[in-house]
Structure 1
């Protein structure tokens, strides 16, 4: 029998908007937790608990076939924030590996203290 997972034990939420993102997120976990989160009326989202490098992570996504877009993603994030109170409230993203611009020239400057 599966156990009920505790919302408060999870400190990182990974919101996976696309199905392929959810699959990738689950593939990155070191361990997937056996169990389920209790359902709340009006919350049809899917939450899967796991661990990565000792951190308890919840992967949040929605059922197959549900329409998604910016509004749906925002609703999912709001629900995650409401249910998982120990996750940071500010969303974070992975920084780009490519700089925003390229320059063939470099410049340098120095600050001169006039005092």
Structure 2
């Protein structure tokens, strides 16, 4: 029984710093002025007008614009278009390498 208690205490001591580290990564740094302006421009492109006379529906208008921006980002992310994948390589063969006059000679593997 004593060894079980010791094991639980040791596990708790090990788990506590890990939990606090995970929580500290969730806090984000404050937004910069440029980031806030970029978000406002995105909302304006989505149809939100901060200077409109319709101040009674301000929260609903802002939330609708935010939903449109999120939908656009999701559609862009899942569309299959965009930047090429980073770190891709050909499978099953070594890439052909060319020797540069500025580097150590490189062996070129040919099939």
Same fold by TM (over 0.5)? no
The structure whose residues are more often helix, as a share, is: 2
- Which structure has the higher relative contact order (CA within 8 Å, separation 6+)? 1
The structure whose residues are more often strand, as a share, is: 1
